[in-house]
Amino acid sequence: TAHVVVNGIETAEHTRVSCNQVQWVWFIESVRESPGFTAQVRPGDAVAARLVRIENLGGFTGSSWNATVTAPSTPSGVGADAEVA
């Protein structure tokens, strides 16, 4: 499951996700499209989000390039923090 934070506020939905790696990029997608999200994340010393798209999570819909993403040390989840204007 994923815990998604939008503008510093965690959404109530904890969504199931699927993860796939293509070369150096992880594609993390919620099983359900709405409410849900898609993230393209590049791992490394500093995890970098290439794209975050949020669909009706916490009443928010939007997308952002170069958002910040944190990956907890436990393999059970990935959190995303996206600031989208």
Full domain range(s) for residue 17: 2-82
pLDDT mean across residues, the chain: 74
pTM, entire model: 0.67
pLDDT for position 29? 92
pLDDT for position 44? 80
Domain count for the chain: 1
More confident residue, 24 or 6: 24
Contact 55, 4 (CB under 8 A): no
Instruction: Tell me the pLDDT tens digit for each residue of 29-64.
Output: 999 888 888 989 888 887 777 888 888 887 888 888
Tokens of 41: 């994340």
